[in-house]
Amino acid sequence: MSNTVPNFSAIRLLGAGTAALLLASTAANAQNWDLVPRLAVGGEVDDNAQLTVRTDDVVKLEGYLLEAAAAISYDSATTDFVITPLILDRSYPDEEVFNSTMYDVQMRYTYRGQRNRFRFDAWFNEDDIRNAERADVDLDQQDPDDIPDDDTGLVQIAGDRTRIQARPSWTYSWSRASASTLWIDYRDVTYDAELGFTDYTDARFTLDYSNNFSTRSAWFVSGALRNYDLEQDLGEFDSIAFNVGLDTRLSETLRLRARIGVEDVESSTSGLNETKPIGELTFIRQLETIRLLAQYRRSVTTSGRGRMSERDAVNVRMTRVLNERFEAGLGLKAYRSRPIQLEPDQPLFDRNYAQLTARLTWNITRSFSMETMYLYTFVDREVQGESANSNQFILWFAYQPGGADQ
């Protein structure tokens, strides 16, 4: 995998949006700004980097990692803003074809008024297929809505994927107990031409209404329109979704969210017209030193395969502060993906996937830390009648000034 030049037109677009939001806060005092840089070096060992069958010639990688990142944030009584640029370089001396560089920029802007709340999230990511299209567990993910579900799992080929995502939302509070939210989620995904993937856009328009019927609980209802458009006139899918749900705090430390609904998917290009059940059950436990998230989700997903799929996914992750210097994390991500198609006896791209992640972080000082990770990945590709697994070890040494006192 070659080191490619990032999509600077996309970066300029994201930068222009960022600059506009910054200019909107010109009255801000400089003391409201904060900058936290991060520099990390590490090593990686992977005994089956392309998740191929063990009887084949597997690719084993040993290499070096270099990461440079920063968090730039602004905070006031009504406005929050954060942008986190990151560059990650991977180098493998014995397998240079797998050398790659990831470019990632995430941004979030929030404005809070008396009745109105505006939020804008944006994300640019360019990475090699081996990492971008594999569903790794993110132990630092806080919002269950942000768990991605658009990977293909195809990591045997060389090339890059570029994804641009924008998510503006507007919330209006009708009263202290009720509110409506209108939000748009737009993704533009492109691949290197030689990969054989399909470039696509995925746009979703959602309207939610929620009502707090007690100090701890709220019910909600939502409807969504969605368009999944394959480039080069290869096809187009439209869907309408509707669901109802409950969000409640069972105790001071335990939160439950449940929803159930349907999504009707149709395509004028293929004649597809099917209705699929969707839903979610999420538990979040937050203690002083422990955070636990457990989620089951049934959804309709998109990917570079050129088809919409129905996916049953389980996500479990736990992080724990062991003491003032050590933190540990465990995570499991497993799913069963089946394409929505006209011929149910042709299981194109059927896939079962699971990944187990373990992490231990040692805060050596307030600015220096060491982190070790182990990842076990399993995939079962039913259409090929084969399965594969890999073991991956990663070690990081990081410098980030302004850490917690030790």
Digit-coded pLDDT (tens) for 83-124: 999 999 999 999 998 899 999 999 999 999 999 999 999 999
Write the burial class of residue 50 (CB in 10 Å: 0-12 exposed, 13-18 middle, 19+ buried).
buried
Give the distance, in angstroms, between the CA of residue 141 and the centroid of all CA atoms in the same chain: 8
Please tell me the predicted confidence (pLDDT) of residue 386: 76
Residue 298 has pLDDT above 70, yes or no: yes
How far apart, in whole angstroms, are the C-alpha atoms of residue 240 and residue 99? 42
**In contact, 281 and 294? CB cutoff 8 Å:** no
Please tell me the predicted confidence (pLDDT) of residue 150: 66
Percent of the chain with pLDDT over 70: 85
Write the burial class of residue 272 (CB in 10 Å: 0-12 exposed, 13-18 middle, 19+ buried).
middle
Give the distance, in angstroms, between the CA of residue 75 and the centroid of all CA atoms in the same chain: 25
Q: What is the CATH number of domain 8-399?
A: 2.40.160
What's the average model confidence in pLDDT over 65-92?
A: 95
> Which residues touch 87 (CB under 8 Å, ≥6 apart)?
67, 68, 69, 101, 102, 103, 104
Strand partners, 164: 124, 188
Per-residue pLDDT band for 3 (boundaries 50, 70, 90) equals very low
Digit-coded pLDDT (tens) for 128-178: 888 877 777 777 776 767 766 667 767 777 788 999 999 999 999 999 999
Please tell me the predicted confidence (pLDDT) of residue 234: 78
Residue 381 has pLDDT above 50, yes or no: yes
Mean pLDDT of the residues in the chain: 86
Please tell me the predicted confidence (pLDDT) of residue 4: 45
- The Cα-based distances of 203 to 166, 278, 400 in angstroms read 10, 18, 37
Helix, strand, or coil here: 270? coil
What's the average model confidence in pLDDT over 348-373?
A: 91
| Token duo for residue 118 | 């505006």
Helix, strand, or coil here: 19? helix
Please tell me the predicted confidence (pLDDT) of residue 149: 67
Please tell me the predicted confidence (pLDDT) of residue 157: 74
Per-residue pLDDT band for 27 (boundaries 50, 70, 90) equals very low
Q: How many CB atoms lie within 10 A of CB 135?
A: 23
Residue 180 has pLDDT above 80, yes or no: yes
What's the average model confidence in pLDDT over 291-319?
A: 91
Give the distance, in angstroms, between the CA of residue 289 and the centroid of all CA atoms in the same chain: 24
How far apart, in whole angstroms, are the C-alpha atoms of residue 397 and residue 286? 28
> Which residues touch 25 (CB under 8 Å, ≥6 apart)?
74, 76, 79, 81
How far apart, in whole angstroms, are the C-alpha atoms of residue 12 and residue 79? 24
Higher pLDDT, residue 374 or 384: 374
Angle at 242 between CA 310 and CA 255, to 5 degrees: 85
How far apart, in whole angstroms, are the C-alpha atoms of residue 174 and residue 179? 5
- The Cα-based distances of 165 to 76, 77, 117, 201, 236 in angstroms read 26, 27, 20, 10, 19
| Token duo for residue 60 | 């084993």
Residue 269 has pLDDT above 90, yes or no: no
Of 47-56, 114-123, 232-241, 296-305, the poorest mean pLDDT is in 47-56
Higher pLDDT, residue 53 or 224: 224
How far apart, in whole angstroms, are the C-alpha atoms of residue 155 and residue 383? 16
